[in-house]
């Protein structure tokens, strides 16, 4: 990281006259200092907060629309960091342009009256564009949430219509039963036994129909409650995004205030013929305000660069790692279980491939754990050989699973799995919600989990890269890349948690994978018949 981030870009000497000017304008300069701090407060409120949808562990099978919102909005903190980074570059560029006027002043060269005005307009426009573009990006996220919200509302309306139809059918069952069996006993008493049998048969049929209608209403009620919970999360997420717009607007107002102050402060001798001296003082005042603006900006960028800067950084990768590792074994288990929607000829292959993917992941995690326990990192071998091999193997296995989902799913088996899941939902103690793990009953739901698993693999790869080669973070000045070997000091809170999560994750993950075996190849029909009649030996 560059060591001059907390210093002004240039160090020009300030004359006694300039110092007098600065001291006379101390209250106004203090105002710019407050506005600069406020600008950072507004933008950090976005970076440091989490959207309501991001606080949940969304299950794509239960809440596909919320999962899409999570993916859509996941880079908001990174984009906000880039806003401040771009603003820093604009300010530094403007400061350089102002300093370029000083030689003309020193040489008593004439400067057009509107020169500084053009500088101000250029500076203001460049800064505004950054905030306007960011406003547009957040507005796009809001529109996406609204679209997802509409899709959930459509599903709620469909559930409502279906519930109403089901209730109407329930009301007709008794009428149908009464009309199906004529009162023949009134005509011929000898037919009374036959009439009684018919009433029993129709009653049983009506009871069966009524039970199915009750079950359907129960299923629709569960689905309606889950959808309404999704809507509530979407509403809260949209409200938070609208707060982000207000934070951005306030930050832009602070920037414009500082920009106006840079050029509107009156300096001693304003109106005299000593234009060069006056302009020199104005440049010094502008640079003083720039320095006050950049001090909190640089401090914040340095503080957050480990999380949002370009490149690979241990801090960010460790935090991401601790978040995803506990979910990997659950995701593998669900994908293995989803083999029931695959054609029988490829069911075992799908299950074994998913199981193999889990083994590759957890065996690699075991290797990482062994290395950290020994505190020995053979950087070249670990990064170029083991980490590269891990990425290749997981990529091939994930592609193979996706290919089977494309070509080998069974419509009949999917319908059966869907019925089973409805029964599970009906008798479950907890109503399905965004965080509940439901059985996967179609390729899209499986792909949602597979996509999340692929992101977990990428997180592991980044952590391995950070471990093997050290930090590799782009300097926020954009001029250099810092490389430093990493010492895994477990007294650090993040790394201490990382070691604990790694140990527990590897142990429990391997145990759960063992429980998933064996996954047997299905026997052919002839083989099944032969097994029945084959004598025991």
Bigger pLDDT: 310 vs 65:
65
What was the pLDDT predicted at 84?
94
Q: Quick one: 284 and 344 in the same domain?
A: no
- Quick check: helix, strand or coil at residue 311? strand
Task: Specify whether 425 is located in the same domain as 453.
Answer: yes
Bigger pLDDT: 100 or 187?
A: 100
pLDDT at position 191 is: 43
CA distance 74 to 130: 20
**Mean predicted confidence (pLDDT) in 41-57:** 91
Task: Give the pLDDT of residue 242.
Answer: 96
pLDDT above 50 for 27: yes
**Angle of CA points 303, 305, 310, to nearest 5°:** 180
Q: What pLDDT shows up at residue 3?
A: 33
pLDDT tens digits, one per residue of 353-394: 999 999 999 988 888 787 777 655 565 566 667 788 898 999
Do 261 and 318 have their domain in common? no
Query: DSSP 3-state helix, strand, coil percentages of the chain (rounded to 5)?
Result: 80, 0, 20
Q: pLDDT band at residue 31, thresholds of 50, 70 and 90?
A: low
Please give the pLDDT value at position 286: 82
Pick the more confident residue, 405 or 111: 405
DSSP string spanning 349-407?
A: HHHHHHHHHHHHHHHHHHHHHHHHHHT---HHHIIIIIIHHHHHHHHHHHHHHHHHHHH
Which pLDDT score, from 0 to 100, does residue 240 have? 96
Let me know whether 22 and 107 are in one domain.
yes
- pLDDT bin (cut points 50, 70, 90) of residue 239 is very high
Write down the mean pLDDT value for the chain.
76
Residue 41 forms part of a structural domain: yes
Is residue 498 a part of any domain in this protein?
yes
Residue 90 near residue 127 (C-beta atoms within 8 A): yes
300, 319: one domain: no
Higher-confidence residue of 228 and 24: namely 228
What's the mean pLDDT in 326-340? 90
**Selected residue with higher pLDDT from 272 and 502:** 502
Model-wide pTM > 0.75: no
Q: Kindly state whether residues 365 and 395 are assigned to the same domain.
A: yes
- Residue 164, domain member (yes or no): no
E strand residue ranges, 213-293: none
pLDDT at 194: 47
Residue 65 lies in a domain: yes
Please state, for a pLDDT cut of 70, what percent of the chain lies above it: 65
| Domain identity same for 450 and 321 | yes
Please give the tally of structural domains in the chain: 2
| 129-143, 188-202, 252-266, 489-503: range with lowest mean pLDDT | 188-202
Least confident residue range of 301-310, 321-330, 407-416, 490-499: 490-499
Give domain status of residue 425, yes or no. yes
pLDDT band at 501 (very low <50, low <70, confident <90, very high): confident
- Whether residue 80 lies inside any domain: the answer is yes
CA distances from 108 to 15, 39, 104, 286, 315 (A): 17, 38, 6, 20, 53
pLDDT single digits (tens) 514-526: 887 655 665 554 5
Q: Domain ends where: 306, 331, 346?
A: 306
| Residues 331 and 300 reside in one and the same domain | no
Q: Are residues 429 and 477 in the same domain?
A: yes
Which range of residues forms the domain containing residue 332?
Answer: 312-519
Residue 83 and residue 139 in one domain? yes
Residue 130 CA to residue 230 CA, distance in Å, equals 33
436-494: per-residue pLDDT in tens? Answer: 677 898 999 999 899 989 988 988 887 777 665 444 334 444 444 444 444 444 445 55
pLDDT at 101 over 60: yes
Binning pLDDT at 50, 70 and 90, where does residue 18 land? very low
Answer whether residue 28 shows pLDDT above 60.
Answer: no
pLDDT at 90: 94
Q: Residue 211 falls within a domain, yes or no?
A: no
Say how far apart CA 331 and CA 453 lie, in whole Å: 7
Q: For residue 57, is pLDDT > 70?
A: yes
Verify that 302 and 429 share a domain, yes or no.
no
For position 13, what pLDDT does the model report? 39
Mean pLDDT of 216-228: 73
Residue 457 falls inside a structural domain: yes
Tokens of 274: 């000593």
First to last CA, the chain: 74
pLDDT in tens, 141-192: 999 999 998 888 888 888 777 777 766 665 655 555 555 544 544 444 544 4
Kindly tell me if the per-residue pLDDT of 294 is higher than 70: yes
% of the chain beyond a pLDDT of 90: 29
Distance CA 284, CA 382 (A): 53
Residue where a domain terminates, one of 306, 322, 340? 306
Pick from 503, 511, 506, 517: which is nearest to 354 by CA? 517
How sure is the predictor about 103, in pLDDT bands with cuts at 50, 70 and 90? confident
pLDDT category at 247 given cuts 50, 70, 90 is very high
Residues 349 and 483 in one domain: yes
């Amino acid at each position: 990281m560059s060591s001059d981030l907390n210093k002004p870009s240039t160090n020009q000497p300030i004359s006694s006259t300039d110092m007098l000017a600065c001291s006379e304008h101390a209250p106004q300069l203090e105002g710019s200092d407050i506005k600069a701090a406020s600008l950072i407060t507004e933008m950090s409120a976005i970076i440091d907060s989490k959207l309501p949808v991001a606080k949940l562990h969304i299950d794509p099978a239960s809440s596909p629309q919320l999962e899409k919102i999570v993916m859509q909005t996941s880079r908001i903190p990174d984009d906000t960091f880039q806003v401040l980074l771009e603003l820093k570059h604009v300010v530094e560029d403007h400061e350089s342009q102002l300093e370029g006027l000083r030689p003309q002043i020193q040489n008593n060269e004439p400067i057009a009256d509107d020169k500084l005005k053009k500088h101000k307009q250029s500076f203001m426009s460049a800064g505004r564009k950054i905030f306007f573009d960011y406003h547009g990006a957040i507005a796009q996220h809001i529109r996406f949430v609204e679209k997802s919200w509409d899709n959930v509302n459509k599903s709620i309306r469909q559930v409502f219509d279906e519930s109403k139809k089901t209730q109407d059918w329930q009301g007709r069952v008794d009428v149908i039963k009464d009309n199906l069996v004529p009162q023949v006993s009134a005509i011929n008493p000898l037919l009374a036994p036959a009439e009684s049998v018919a009433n029993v048969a129709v009653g049983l049929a009506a009871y069966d129909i009524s039970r199915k209608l009750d079950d359907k209403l129960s299923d629709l009620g569960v689905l309606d409650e889950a959808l309404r919970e999704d809507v509530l999360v979407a509403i809260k997420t949209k409200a938070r995004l609208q707060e982000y717009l207000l934070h951005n607007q306030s930050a832009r107002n602070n920037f414009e205030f500082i920009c106006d102050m840079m050029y509107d402060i009156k300096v001693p001798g304003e109106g005299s013929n000593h234009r060069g001296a006056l302009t020199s003082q104005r440049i010094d005042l502008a640079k003083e305000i720039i320095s006050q603006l950049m001090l909190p900006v640089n401090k914040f960028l340095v503080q957050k660069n480990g999380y949002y800067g370009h490149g690979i950084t241990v801090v960010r990768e460790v935090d991401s790692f601790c978040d995803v590792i506990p979910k990997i074994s659950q995701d593998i288990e669900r994908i293995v279980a989803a083999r029931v929607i695959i054609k029988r000829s490829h069911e075992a292959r799908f299950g074994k491939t998913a199981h193999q993917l889990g083994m590759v992941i957890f065996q690699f995690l075991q290797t990482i754990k062994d290395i950290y326990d020994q505190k020995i990192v053979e950087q070249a071998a670990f990064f170029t050989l083991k980490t590269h091999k891990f990425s290749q193997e997981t990529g091939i296995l994930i592609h193979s699973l996706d290919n089977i989902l494309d070509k080998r799913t069974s419509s009949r088996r999917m319908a059966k799995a869907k019925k089973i899941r409805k029964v599970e939902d009906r008798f479950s103690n907890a109503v399905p919600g965004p965080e509940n793990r439901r059985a996967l009953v179609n390729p899209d739901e499986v792909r949602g989990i597979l996509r999340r698993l692929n992101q977990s693999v990428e997180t592991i790869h980044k952590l391995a890269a950070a471990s093997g080669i050290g930090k590799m973070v782009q300097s926020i000045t954009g001029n250099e890349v810092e490389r430093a070997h990493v010492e895994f000091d477990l007294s650090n809170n993040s790394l201490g948690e990382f070691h604990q999560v790694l140990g527990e994750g590897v142990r429990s993950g391997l145990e759960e994978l063992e429980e998933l075996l064996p996954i047997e190849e299905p026997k052919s029909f002839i083989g099944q018949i032969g097994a029945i009649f084959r004598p025991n030996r």
